[in-house]
Amino acid sequence: MSELQKLRIDKWLWAARFFKTRSLASDAVNGGKVHLNSDRVKAAKAIKVGDVLRIRRGDEIWMVTVLSLFEKRRQASLAQTMYEELQDSLKQREDNAADRKALSASRVVSHRPSKKERRHIIKFKNINREN
Domain of 74, CATH number, reads 3.10.290.10
- Is 13 a domain residue? yes
Stated pTM of the model: 0.75
Model pLDDT, residue 115: 94
- Is 24 a domain residue? yes
- Is 63 a domain residue? yes
- Is 120 a domain residue? no
Model pLDDT, residue 2: 44
pLDDT of the chain, 131 residues: tens digit per residue: 446 789 999 999 999 999 999 999 999 999 999 999 999 999 999 999 999 999 999 889 999 999 999 989 989 999 999 999 999 999 999 999 998 888 877 776 678 889 999 999 999 998 877 66
Range of the domain at 80: 1-94
- Is 126 a domain residue? no
3-state secondary structure the chain: CCCCCCEEHHHHHHHCCCCCCHHHHHHHHHCCCEEECCEECCCCCEECCCCEEEEEECCEEEEEEECCCCCCCCCHHHHHHHEEECHHHHHHHHHHHHHHHHHHHHCCCCCCCCHHHHHHHHHHHHHHHHC
Domain count, the chain: 1
Model pLDDT, residue 128: 74
Model pLDDT, residue 28: 96
Model pLDDT, residue 1: 41
